[in-house]
Structures are given as structure tokens and as C-alpha cells.
Chain A
């Protein structure tokens, strides 16, 4: 690519950028000096023609943000750290995220515009500034260039695009689809609102309940993970949204403190937020014959590998099953297979319809397998489609929401059989948008497949059975939404005969 050779740049423009938002950070922090900005930041800012007109003062937001420096309760070291880092912004089971929300700059139409170029470069390496708010910090999200472009354009609130430098402009040309709308969906998916107040976006709690850590996780793994998070769910906590645990670049001392805190028996928290009972359970020692049987069940009969990877086989929706003995407590593994929603309400993974002896077998097999837990490659997720038909009624609307989480990862957000997980499946997922094919299937057939799994229709074992996790209305809602996607109805003979109540 042709670029002008950048002249040298002092840190001052960057400081000016930040200092120009006095309403956000009263009192204005002293300029960090020198900011260890990356060469690319320097380069791009020099190249920016709009740096003279970078900010327009907006309405003060101070009244919405708790002032810094207010007295805080004395917390144990790990608890204080979790509070400062804002773990509660994403995870349930902690006492909220008020502290971080007071520190993190708010965004939105009312906020002062920022230079998109600044956001774009900052997101590439966000931990280099504002040491004064330590131990709070902005974590690193492993964003690719397109994601940074989209987020920058959304967050900066700079409609005239005055704060765009050459690097960002070039990046925008490379990623023409990465506009503010995509940025907004990323902002929502990553739950940026967990820390950054945005008037139009509610914070979520997508991440696992940290009240459960002691029951779920192995200490050694947790320590490693906190020190260097690796994606657990390749496509995000909610399948396909792309939420991810960011890297806070914690020091060894911080890791130890957080691990102590998370693994402690926090009776007072349990009392306030009772944890689901997880029966004590230990993995059995399996013979090679039983192991082979379990492997066959997993690979050829059960639906687990539709979502989870096992070795070189399996989907990318849930965490890899390799090395889970290093990560998870045995009782938790067994309880998860039996009924994930019991442990984490709203879980997408359905409860198992299988019998306890087989669940014991599979849990024992997974926990007894050799292999390191290495985490996953992060999948780049396409933004939500913009051409979804509107749900015609409440039933279809309910179905659409369920479909987005439970079906779209394989069947595609618009039902074209092209979900992000489809390439990892041995069979092409049914295209629900295919009017001709879907008009041959009855509503009851669709319902039954959702209930009992794909294999009962002579299709893939990897399509799970949602029968124990969705109620009758939810299954009917999904059928209604599939009918919207296919713009079709079932065969006439399956529709006409219901004469009850006539």
C-alpha cells in the first residue's frame, strides 16, 4: 500500500484528544507522559486532516456518573480487584459494575464526539493509557481491523467523520461494510455497555455466573486462564454473538488474588443468591471397551459434537471437550450434561433426554480422556443480517429470538443452512429458507425434530433434541418462525383437517 512517510509526532495531540472531554473526567487527569502510543497511532494521527477540529463539547454527563474518589467499602483484595476491573459488568454472581461504570467514558448521542481514528488505534492496544485509574483498566478484546473500524465509527459519535486519519480511511476502504450499524451490534455483542454507559443500550450479563466458580472450575486452570485468557467458546458466550472474555493483562499477584476470591466459599453470596445443587459425583474408571462405546455414542449417536469439538471433529458453538478434566470439576461436568440450564439459567445447551447410566458413561469418558486443554481459535462472526423478515406476530417474534440463539449457528441467521457452525458439521444443515423443500414438511415434523433431535427424521445425529429445554409454546414459536423464513406452509393435508372447536 502507498503511504506518505509519516513525520515525527509528539504525544500532545493525543493528550489533547483526551483532555478535550473534561465533562467526562472531572477533574481532568494530568496528561500521561509520555504515552507509549504505538507507531501506528502516531502515524495515523499525523495523517489526520481533521485533528484541528476534533471535538465539540457536548452536554455534561457528570450527573449520570458517580464521581471518582468517593469512599468505597473495604473489600478483600481479590474482591476489590474484581470490583475495579468491572467483572460484574458481564458476569452474574458479583456485586455489579458501578465502580467501573464511573470510570469508563460514556458514549452515545449526548456524549462529546471523539475522533474515530483515536478509537480505532486505541482499541488495538487499549491498556497503554490512564494509569491513574489502576487497578481499573480497559482490557484488550482481540479485535480485528474491521471490528475496530466499525466500533470506532459507532462509538466516536463523529457524524462528519472529521477525526479520520489515513490509516482509518484506508481501513474503511478495506472494510466497506464495517459501518456504525455493525459497530453498534458489536458494542452490544461485546457488552461494552457493561462498563461504558450508553443511553440506547442496556448492559447484559452474558458471561458465566461467577458465584459458581468454586463448583465449576479447577484452580490451576483458572489461574492460567486469568493470566492469559484463551477463547473457551470460539464464537462467543451466546452462540454467534462473539462476546468474549477480554485480556486484562493481570499481574501474577492480581491473578492469585482474583483466583482466591473466586474460589472462596462465599457463604454470604450463596445465601443471597442460592446456587443450584450439584450432586457429588466422581468419574468411573472405564475399560477400553467402555471407552470405545462412549466414543461411539459421542461421535455417532449423541448430538454433543454438533456444538462441541472433540479432537479434530465437532462444532464450534460450545467449548471444546478436549482436556475438560483440567478445566472443570467432575460433578459439574456431569450436572452440565444432564441439565445445563439448572446450573446456568437460559443456557442454550439443552438438557439431556438420555438415561443416567449413559450420562455417567459419557461424563466419565470425557473426564478420563488424555489431552491438554488448549482453548479454541476464535471464530470471526458475521454481523447479524439486515434482511430478516419482520415477525408477523408475537409467536413468530418469540420464535425469532429462540432461533437466533439455538438454530442460527448451524441453520444460518436467515435459515439458509449457512450458520457459522455449518462448516464443522458432517451434514449440511437444512435450509429453512428453502420454500420447496420446507413446504413438504408438516409443522408437526418440524416440531418433532426440534423436540427429539434430527436423527428421528433420518437426519443428522448432531442436531440436538430440545425437548427437555423448550416448552410447547416455544417449540410452536420456532415452527412459526421457520414458516416465516421459508415463506411457506406445510402440505395441505397436514393443515386442513384440524376441526377441533369448529
Chain B
């Protein structure tokens, strides 16, 4: 069993064919699975911001924009956002659905289009029934230059929409799958040596929509994707489309359309590209014929000031980044239920930061290298480590034209391609005056391009090196061949000059440019800090409250917390002072991490007042604090330090007393340490704070069963099923009750339902095989034992069971 991140909803948004981390809810007999619920503190000063609630119904879809905003719509429709996915059809599918089989060692899969024109995968495995899986959606179009992929989703009976394991690489022209959580070899092209279950998505596990229960959820491969519990029904998955629509960036448009209609603006099939600006009616060629023939169009001046949408011109750098970082950044879920496009002042909906924390993924398995470059798998969020952002004011839309997703310079002058130097030289004009004195490469040669050296395409390591998935480095670094090599990266120099050693390339760099620009102090400190170093020295290296980048400051502090702060261990005065200054930062992630660090060390003292006196932002900070303390608690529990883990959760509950997630985590922990009464108390309190938590009912049932109250346990499992009839873990634990009661026949009935709803849960197949074997149904038990061995190949007890069953079957 892998440790479950109980508080930090490890939901990371995905861009291409999927992140590798797979569901962490593998199950032994004693279950511990969690869901993130809403957290509401008891402190009246910490209130929810509810100024502009938005709902799915507030969105109108891109087609509704086309009538008036033709130019922008046409540009968008051709863009990679406009073509990011959709229903399966000749326009969207690039993979071959011609019946050519995808051959595994133990399965043959036929991608085909049936006679009704529907795209399907037909899966044949020896000894099993043929399965036809409908393609209910296409994700991606293989557009990305560094490696474009396409994936497919299907809607399951439990109401979730999940990714299939059959991905297609345009560059390779081959099918591949993601082996994360199974063989962990990254993305690999399918071969006849592979088992189908080597693919982490077999059976499908990753869902569309943010469901903290699933570790690898995707709400970015479509527009306004929501997946939420519909009590009594199961999971309800909704979206407006699998392309990235206008409202993903502009926010919900329903009210805009209604206000414009009320003001008399028709929604014409043809007409001015925007009703907002009209050339003068009198005079020269500027007079539009449409004005004469469409007297119904009101004068722009007569339109209302509130048109139901805010201009994105209002965005400052941070607001602008939040629009793109909805998807193009790793993030942890602070609160579910985010709907897109709501991150600008005066715009409906909550801010992105109320729902997601961009820096928290740093904790634990840090996806970034010390200088912010991608270490495992990430997106363009490391722009926050680029000097162009930290020491300048660069946002995404300074280079990326947001409608057509072409390129332009900082003054919006269109550029021809992604390699056009003017993306850079419209700011760095000093380099443009005599380019060769900077590039040392012949003008016009590929090596003379700014992006060739400063934004090289880097294959994301977690993917492996078999399927192209390289993305341009948005930290915009200076090439340092030797450091790059030390960090395991292919330096920009070596990208072309692969025949030369890093040493030689480093010498050339030194010869041309002399001393290289120094790294920022946090990156330099993270590279230099070593385990065993004194806390004072580490603090001086890692804690830089005056560095300009919040993201970098966070990373330094996270490293210090991980290496040099013990629970209740106090802090040296200088370190405490530096951390206190970071606790006054405007950034909610940094503020929360600084506060949490002081709490861990029991060195809180006088803290700066809450952020700007804004109760909503204070809540956002406290939620993060609870997540951080919960994460540390999980880490302590995984090390077997239960007392420390509990102490950390008790601290979290001081930050947000009565917080459902913290109570849930405490209940899980106490269950594991055998304090079942304590667990029952904590889990009951969690349910009192948030009743829509089927898995908390399941865990409460486990606690009750363990404390000798099987009837109470059954009641909780039934309560979970009443909330979500498709919850396999509730059915599974019901089966466990009957197994313990030596009633394998009844147990098998519940296990069968659990296996149907959660076909990828190895523990369910194991227990079902065991129950069936005990009832003498060896023939029925065998395939489940094989499934269990397929999904849990390292479990010796399953191998024993399988051996016994096979022997028994042969004997019969």
C-alpha cells in the first residue's frame, strides 16, 4: 500500500497525454482512502468569498461568441486550443482507427470505426470476453512541436469519464501507453512483449475532472470540466467541450449575451467583428455598409457600462498568469469546484488561488530542479523561476497571441513563428543591434536564434525517452553546459553539438562570454546546500526573504523545512527572523509555508497580521497551512513516526478547527495506529463538518469494525453506498465483514460488485478469489487471482493463492 496523501489533494493538472502518477488508492484489507472535502474554519474572521458565485449554466460555449466576435472566433477555431479535442471524428482523430491491431503479449486491441461511424477499441484477451470500449472523447491533436500526442476517454457506469491506455504519438506514428504505477518505465510504445496491465490506465483509472480521490485527474483537457458527487447517484461529470473554449479565459458569458440582447445588439451571422467599436458612420471609406443596412444595431455609446464581462486588459501580470496557469502549471487542489476564467478583478467566480496552490507541488517529490527547470514532469509554470518574470514583468501573453496561439512581440506585432527572435528582442533590444556579438553563431543560422540557447526543448524525464515529449524551457536559462550535465539535462549547446563534451562546451562558453551570469541566490543555495550542514548555514543559503521571486523563495524554504526543521525543535534566531519575514509575503503559498514552518518548530511567536485584512485570502492561506501540515504528517506516518504525524495534525486543527480534511486525516492516522475510538471520534467530526464524504463513511466503518462493532461498520458502508452507489471500496469492505464472519458466499457477492465497479483494484480481485476458493468455486476464482497478480505482481500472498488455485484446478 502506498501512503495516501490525505490532506494535500495530489491532483495535478495535465497538459498532454497524462501525468504518470496513478491512483494511490490501492487497497489492502484495512482500507485507507480519502477524499478532499471543503474546509470551513470556525474562526469568523476567516470567511468564504462568495461575491460572484458561478455555475455551469453561466457558460454559453464558443459558438455563442462567433456571431459578434467573428475575427476572434475564426482565429481561435484554427488554434491548438480550438482544436484541442472533441468528439471522435475525422476532424479530431489523428490516430489510425482502421482496424490495424495494437498487439500486446496478452491482448490484441483493434482501434476501429464501426458501421454506425462510432470510434471504438475492441480488446481481445485469451480466456476472457471480448470488450468493446466506446471512444467518448478525443484529447489532444498531436499539435505540440516537441512531441504531440492524442489520448481517448470513455464514460464509465459510475459516471466518471476516464482515460484509456491507448495513446498515440504523432511524431512516432505509434501507439504507446503510460506505464506509471505498474512497470514505471514512463511512456513506452506498445510492443508484443508488453502485458496490457503494464499500462497504468488498464483498466481506466484517470478521470476527467478534479476528483481528489483520484491522484491523477484532468480538468484541463476540455472546458469547464467538473466531476462531483451527486448524492445517491454517483459521480456526475460535466463539461462544455473537449476543446479549450473562449470562456476558459474570458469567464462565463451567459450574462454578457443577455445584457447585449437586452441592449438591442443582434447576434448576426455577419456584421462587424466587434460591436464594441464602430468607425464613424459619415465620411470616407470607413463608413461601413452594414451600418446603413442594419439600423437595428444600437450606437456603441448607448450600450450599458456593464456588459457582463471584464476586459482582460485589466489583468496585471499576476492576474494574466493565473488565466494560463489554470492549466499550464502544476498545482495542488485547495478546494474543488473551480470553473474557468474567473481570475480577474470584477469577474465572476473565485480566484484561481482560492482553489489551487501552484507552489505546493514542490513539497515531497519536487518536480523541479534547484534552478526551476523540470526534473520530472511539469508544465510552463516554471516561468515563475525565469528572470524575465522575476526581474521583469513577463506574462504568457507577451509572446503568445491568446486567440490564435501564434506569436507576437511585446507590442502585439505579429511574428512569423515560435523561433522569431523578436519575441525576445522587443525587450532585449541591446542584443538585436549586433546579434553576432552576442550569439557567436552566423546570423540566420539555427544556433543564432534566441530560443535555441535560452528556451531549448527538453524531454520531460518522467516520460522517459521513448516517446517524444519535449517542451520549451520556460525558465529561460543561460546555457551552463557543465551544470546542465550535472543536473542530468541535455544542455542547449549539446542539443546541437552532441559530439562535444560538456567540459569542452563549457570552455567555449567561458571563452565567448567570460564569467556567466550568476544564478539567483535561492537556486545557488539549493545547489550548494548539503545534508548534514548546520542549520544556520543552511538558513543563510536557503532562506532569502528579499529575493524577488515568491516561487523561488518558497522552494528555498521548502528545502529548509524538509532538511533542517524538526517537530517542536525550535529555530535559530536568524532563521526564525527570515521565515517570519516570508510569513508577511503577499503570496498565499509562501505565507502559508512560512507559518507552517514556524508552527512545526514551535517557534510561532508574533506573526504578521493576516493578508491585507482580507478574510477570504486569510482562509486561502490557512487552507494551505493545513495542507502543508497534513503533508508533513503523511510523510511522518510513512516513516513510521505516528506520534509526530499526530502532533502535526493537531497543529493543523489549531489553524482551522473543525476542518473536515484535517479531521479525516487524523481519523485515518488513528485507525492505523490502533486508536479506533479516537479514529471514530475524528471521522465522525469530519462527517459533521462535511457530510458528502463516502470514503470517510468507509473509513469510519473500518474503525467501527476494528473496535468490535460490525453492525455499526455495516451501517457506515451502507451510508457510503447511499451517497455513491458506485463506490467500490464500500462494497469491498462490506465483503470484508462477511469474510471475517466466515461467510465467504455472502462476501463474494459484495466483492463481485466491488470488482465490477473497480476492475483495477488488485486487492478486490484477491479477496474475491479467496472467497470463491473457500466456497469451492475454483474455476470462477482463478481469473480473479490472475487479475490480482496482474495488478499486484509483487504480492507474494497472491502468487501463493494463484499457485494453489492452479494446482487445484489441474487436480480437478
Nearest A residue to B517, CB-CB: A493
Q: Which residues of B contact A300 (CB under 8 A)?
A: 316
Known A-B contacts A287-B301, A289-B311; A355 and B413 likewise in contact (beta carbons under 8 Å) = yes
B437 engages A452 (CB within 8 Å) = no
Q: Which residues of A contact B284 (CB under 8 A)?
A: 280, 282
Task: Tell me how far the C-beta of B192 lies from the nearest C-beta in chain A, rounded to whole angstroms.
Answer: 54
B429 engages A452 (CB within 8 Å) = yes
Q: Which residues of A contact B426 (CB under 8 A)?
A: 353, 452
B412 at the interface (CB under 8 A from A): yes
Q: Which residues of B contact A355 (CB under 8 A)?
A: 411-413
Q: Which residues of B contact A496 (CB under 8 A)?
A: 514-515
Q: Which of A280, A284, A301, A452 meets B313, CB within 8 Å?
A: A301
Proximity string of chain A (455-494) to chain B, C-beta cutoff 8 Å, 1 when within and 0 when not: 1111000000001000010010000000000000000111
A158 at the interface (CB under 8 A from B): no
* Residue in A358, A456, A472 whose Cβ sees the most chain B Cβ within 10 Å: A456
A293 at the interface (CB under 8 A from B): yes
Task: Tell me how far the C-beta of B404 lies from the nearest C-beta in chain A, rounded to whole angstroms.
Answer: 15
Bound CA span A470–B440, Å: 26
Bound CA span A472–B313, Å: 31
Known A-B contacts A354-B412, A355-B412; A285 and B514 likewise in contact (beta carbons under 8 Å) = no
B804 at the interface (CB under 8 A from A): no
Binds A, one of B273-281, B527-535, B651-659: B273-281
B280 engages A472 (CB within 8 Å) = no
Please classify the interface of chain B as helix (H, G, I), strand (E, B), loop, or mixed, using the class held by over half of its residues: loop
Known A-B contacts A287-B275, A497-B515; A448 and B301 likewise in contact (beta carbons under 8 Å) = no
Known A-B contacts A448-B429, A448-B430, A496-B514; A361 and B277 likewise in contact (beta carbons under 8 Å) = yes
* Residue in B282, B393, B548 whose Cβ sees the most chain A Cβ within 10 Å: B393
Q: Which residues of B contact A283 (CB under 8 A)?
A: 280
Q: Which of B389-440 contact A (CB under 8 A)?
A: 391-394, 410-413, 426-431, 433, 436-437, 440
A436 at the interface (CB under 8 A from B): no
Nearest B residue to A454, CB-CB: B393
Bound CA span A360–B431, Å: 31
Proximity string of chain A (339-381) to chain B, C-beta cutoff 8 Å, 1 when within and 0 when not: 0000000000000011100101100100000000000000000
A288 engages B305 (CB within 8 Å) = yes
B514 engages A499 (CB within 8 Å) = yes
Q: Which residues of A contact B307 (CB under 8 A)?
A: 287, 289
A456 engages B427 (CB within 8 Å) = yes
A388 at the interface (CB under 8 A from B): no
Q: Which residues of B contact A354 (CB under 8 A)?
A: 411-412
B280 engages A457 (CB within 8 Å) = no
B290 at the interface (CB under 8 A from A): no
B44 at the interface (CB under 8 A from A): no
A448 engages B412 (CB within 8 Å) = no
Q: How many A-B residue pairs lie within 8 Å, measured between CB atoms?
A: 119
B429 engages A285 (CB within 8 Å) = no
A8 at the interface (CB under 8 A from B): no
A497 engages B514 (CB within 8 Å) = yes
Q: Which of A290, A297, A467, A494 meets B276, CB within 8 Å?
A: A290
B295 at the interface (CB under 8 A from A): no
A437 at the interface (CB under 8 A from B): no
B313 engages A297 (CB within 8 Å) = yes
B605 at the interface (CB under 8 A from A): no
Task: Tell me how far the C-beta of A265 lies from the nearest C-beta in chain B, rounded to whole angstroms.
Answer: 20
Proximity string of chain A (267-303) to chain B, C-beta cutoff 8 Å, 1 when within and 0 when not: 0000000000000101111111110110011001100
* Residue in B275, B394, B514, B517 whose Cβ sees the most chain A Cβ within 10 Å: B514
Bound CA span A444–B307, Å: 44
Q: Which residues of B contact A353 (CB under 8 A)?
A: 411, 426
Nearest B residue to A472, CB-CB: B433
| Chain A interface size range | 35 or more
Task: Tell me how far the C-beta of B94 lies from the nearest C-beta in chain A, rounded to whole angstroms.
Answer: 35
Q: Which residues of B contact A493 (CB under 8 A)?
A: 514-518
Known A-B contacts A293-B311, A447-B429, A499-B512; A457 and B392 likewise in contact (beta carbons under 8 Å) = yes
Known A-B contacts A286-B301, A292-B311; A458 and B392 likewise in contact (beta carbons under 8 Å) = yes
Proximity string of chain B (496-516) to chain A, C-beta cutoff 8 Å, 1 when within and 0 when not: 000000000000000111111
Task: Tell me how far the C-beta of A48 lies from the nearest C-beta in chain B, rounded to whole angstroms.
Answer: 60
Nearest B residue to A354, CB-CB: B411
Task: Tell me how far the C-beta of B343 lies from the nearest C-beta in chain A, rounded to whole angstroms.
Answer: 16
A284 engages B277 (CB within 8 Å) = yes
Task: Tell me how far the C-beta of A284 lies from the nearest C-beta in chain B, rounded to whole angstroms.
Answer: 5
Nearest B residue to A468, CB-CB: B411
Q: Which residues of A contact B412 (CB under 8 A)?
A: 354-355, 358
Known A-B contacts A288-B304, A289-B303, A444-B428; A500 and B514 likewise in contact (beta carbons under 8 Å) = no
Task: Tell me how far the C-beta of A399 lies from the nearest C-beta in chain B, rounded to whole angstroms.
Answer: 15
A216 at the interface (CB under 8 A from B): no
Nearest A residue to B548, CB-CB: A458
A443 at the interface (CB under 8 A from B): yes
Proximity string of chain B (263-280) to chain A, C-beta cutoff 8 Å, 1 when within and 0 when not: 000000000000111111
Bound CA span A353–B429, Å: 13
Proximity string of chain B (123-167) to chain A, C-beta cutoff 8 Å, 1 when within and 0 when not: 000000000000000000000000000000000000000000000
Bound CA span A354–B412, Å: 7
If A293-B313, A497-B515 are given as contacts, then 10 extra A-B residue pairs at C-beta distance below 8 Å, sorted by A number, are A284-B279, A289-B305, A289-B311, A290-B277, A296-B311, A296-B313, A354-B412, A358-B412, A444-B430, A458-B391
Can you list 28 pairs linking A and B with CB atoms under 8 Å apart? A282-B279, A282-B280, A282-B282, A284-B277, A284-B280, A287-B276, A287-B300, A287-B301, A289-B311, A290-B276, A292-B305, A296-B311, A301-B313, A353-B411, A355-B412, A358-B412, A360-B277, A444-B430, A448-B428, A451-B430, A456-B392, A456-B393, A456-B427, A493-B515, A493-B518, A496-B515, A500-B437, A500-B440
Binding site for A on B (CB under 8 A): 275-280, 282-284, 286, 299-301, 303-305, 307, 311, 313-314, 316, 391-394, 410-413, 426-431, 433, 436-437, 440, 511-518, 548
In order of increasing CB-CB distance, the 6 nearest A-B pairs are A497-B514, A497-B513, A451-B429, A287-B300, A444-B430, A288-B305
